[in-house]
Structure 1
Amino acid sequence: MTDTVIKINQLTKDYGKGRGIFDVDLDVHRGEVFGYVGTNGSGKTTTIRQIMGFVRPDKGQSSVLGYDSWKNATKIMQYVSYIPGEIAFPSLASGTDFLKLQAEYQGVTDFSYMNHVIELLQLDPTANLKRMSKGMKQKTAIVAALMADKEILVMDEPTTGLDPLMRDAFLNLVREEKEKGRTIFMSSHIFEEIEEVCDRVAMIKDGHIVDTLELWQLRHWKTKTFRIYFSSKEELARFTEAFRFVIGKKEAQLCCTVEMPVEETSHLFHILKDYQVSSLREEHLSLEQYFMQVYQKGANKNGKC
């Protein structure tokens, strides 16, 4: 049976006027990277603040390693490293001073991994803390969180302010932490980075969980979609009349789209030998596309579209 590290049950925090989170249920398993996606204002940060025990819930419960988040917030911090969505540093002269203070507070004496993270993120910790750019502040917060070497990482939009190169470097750090067996809860509105490193992802909209998906399912979908380009309108018409899995056609581009069960793929390739095909491309469903489909279905169900 899978070991549950973070458990959220019927969690509700209502700020009024539809703001907050409502009846949220989530389980995060030991050693997995769990993504939490949604647009700005959807409830990601509110959920994370509940996990960390910063806010008392109106209903339901959040727990970490079996400890109630609200009642045992201090105990939980022994096991959790946290990167907040909004970073506020104390009045210290430099990033180095802040990292030294964090090391003392967390009892860190081996700085080898901290130096590795600093090098990977190309951070100059000697810079003036108050004059750091948003990206530099974000890097400093990441270093402070990772150097403690705790078993759980909770990160609220951790790549905010990072350029694409540093975002890739950060995702490599996430992979390193996963290899160590860490459990990682990571919120983001950037679907690509969630898709790259996460094992599972929950989607939140207007404070409600609308779906939870294993990324393996997205990468190994039970259906396949292909876009096929033909040499002429006649060939296109002949194929679309004969093949039952055609879901769309564009005569001007001499192409059609087919969607079929995976086991029918070899049959498609077999019959295409009888047609003059100029090109064929498999269409992969991205996490963002899947998310938009889920949103659209929800909107149609509620009569909003």
Structure 2
Amino acid sequence: MGVLKVDNLTKDYGNNKGVFDVSFEIEEGEVFGFLGPNGAGKTTTIRHILGFSKPKKGNVSVLGINSWDKPEVIQKELGYLPGEITFPGDMTGTAFIKMIANMREMTNMSRAEELIEIFELDPSGDLKRMSKGMKQKIGIVCAFMHSPKILILDEPTSGLDPLMQSKFISLIASEKANGKTILMSSHIFEEVEKTCDRIAIIKRGRIIETIDSSKLKHGKQKFFKIEFESEDHCERFSKEELKFISINIDKKQVNINVQDEEINELIQILSRYKIKYLKEIKHTLEDYFMHFYGGEEYDK
């Protein structure tokens, strides 16, 4: 049984807004990516996992406990970073971190101090005067400092600069190595691709595909760009029985799709032509995502 289970979750707000028959399961020690644009249903799903919202249909459980029935129990095991953090305006960052620690009945602040150092954070200033990036760092400290078994992270690197984003990715790798279970909702492809074991793509409130990251990185399909020495060679090559994605005789270039087991055959065919260069084109998570979302306005 998974550590976190979403089973046919439906919450219909009308006008095709909400989530519909969303199902997935996250195993212990797994980093699960939840990828989609704003308004696709990521945060709505997370609110149900945390027990903040009651499903219209379906069930959500954490560690075998129903999220809506016993939210106070499951939240003791969770670390949560919301997508939009709202802080009290009359507190310093240090006071806020201490307040959250007291709410969690923490007596050892060594992990919090370690995270403050990692993210080069000075929390002593007034929260209302802090930048978005500074507030995000405080949110990260509060989510991770009690070493929870499960982490729910909604747009975790929003507002962070590239260096801090890199440190966050390293933190996720460290937490995974320690057996933590992580759900990370994001629309940043590189972040998801670098950290997640599996990735669910959500569109208009429905999960349309779940991807195994290892298969994405080591897929059997290869894509090659080839440029020939002459238009004649390019034109003759274009008549070969291969899977052409595009052909441009004027530029003497073709793009082809080849399965792993067809690579040797491709090399034999190419040996009959004079080529200028051969380049493998790596397909990324963004390419895969655009297969489902291409040509649409993301925020609709």
Task: Let me know the Cα RMSD of the aligned residues.
Answer: 1.6
Q: Secondary structure of the equivalent of 2:250? A: helix
Residues 181-221 of structure 1: per-residue CA shift (max 9 Å, x gap): 10000100111110111000111111111111111111121
Identity %: 46
Written as runs of structure 1 = structure 2, the 5 A alignment for 1:242-261 is 242-261=240-259
Preserved contact between residue 108 and residue 147 of structure 1 (Cα < 8 Å): no
Identify the residue that residue 58 of structure 2 maps to in structure 1. 60
Aligned partner of 2:172 among 171, 174, 177 = 174
Is residue 2:85 matched to residue 1:73?
A: no
Which shifted more, 246-255 or 125-134? Answer: 246-255
In structure 2, C-alpha distance between the alignment counterparts of 1:8 and 1:211, rounded to whole Å: 15
Q: Secondary structure of the equivalent of 2:88? A: coil
In structure 2, C-alpha distance between the alignment counterparts of 1:244 and 1:268, rounded to whole Å: 8
Residues 53-72 of structure 1: per-residue CA shift (max 9 Å, x gap): 00111111111011001001
In structure 1, C-alpha distance between the alignment counterparts of 2:245 and 2:142, rounded to whole Å: 51
In structure 2, C-alpha distance between the alignment counterparts of 1:291 and 1:148, rounded to whole Å: 34
In structure 2, C-alpha distance between the alignment counterparts of 1:296 and 1:87, rounded to whole Å: 30
Preserved contact between residue 230 and residue 276 of structure 1 (Cα < 8 Å): yes
Identify the residue that residue 213 of structure 2 maps to in structure 1. 215
Preserved contact between residue 38 and residue 188 of structure 1 (Cα < 8 Å): yes
In structure 1, C-alpha distance between the alignment counterparts of 2:165 and 2:12, rounded to whole Å: 33
**Cα distance, 1:92 vs structure 2:** 4.5
Aligned partner of 1:23 among 21, 24, 33 = 21
**Cα distance, 1:290 vs structure 2:** 0.8
Aligned partner of 1:143 among 137, 141, 158 = 141
1:278 alignment partner AA:
K
Q: Which runs of 5+ in 1 are unaligned?
A: 300-305
Preserved contact between residue 111 and residue 146 of structure 2 (Cα < 8 Å): no
Written as runs of structure 1 = structure 2, the 5 A alignment for 1:109-258 is 109-258=107-256
Identify the residue that residue 281 of structure 1 maps to in structure 2. 279
Q: Secondary structure of the equivalent of 2:280? A: strand
Please report the TM-score for the alignment, with normalisation by the length of structure 2: 0.94
Residues 249-301 of structure 1: per-residue CA shift (max 9 Å, x gap): 1122211011111111122223323321111111121111111213469x9xx
Q: Secondary structure of the equivalent of 1:229? A: strand
Preserved contact between residue 21 and residue 47 of structure 1 (Cα < 8 Å): yes
**Cα distance, 1:22 vs structure 2:** 0.9
**Cα distance, 1:172 vs structure 2:** 1.1
In structure 2, C-alpha distance between the alignment counterparts of 1:245 and 1:203, rounded to whole Å: 27
**Cα distance, 1:243 vs structure 2:** 4.3
Which shifted more, 114-123 or 52-61? Answer: 114-123
Preserved contact between residue 138 and residue 161 of structure 1 (Cα < 8 Å): yes
Identify the residue that residue 302 of structure 1 maps to in structure 2. none
Preserved contact between residue 211 and residue 294 of structure 1 (Cα < 8 Å): no
Preserved contact between residue 22 and residue 207 of structure 2 (Cα < 8 Å): yes
1:178 alignment partner AA:
K
**Cα distance, 1:91 vs structure 2:** 4.9
Is residue 2:83 matched to residue 1:85?
A: yes
Q: Secondary structure of the equivalent of 1:39? A: coil
Aligned partner of 1:38 among 36, 39, 46 = 36
2:215 alignment partner AA:
Q
Preserved contact between residue 92 and residue 98 of structure 1 (Cα < 8 Å): no
1:51 alignment partner AA:
I
Q: Secondary structure of the equivalent of 2:238? A: helix
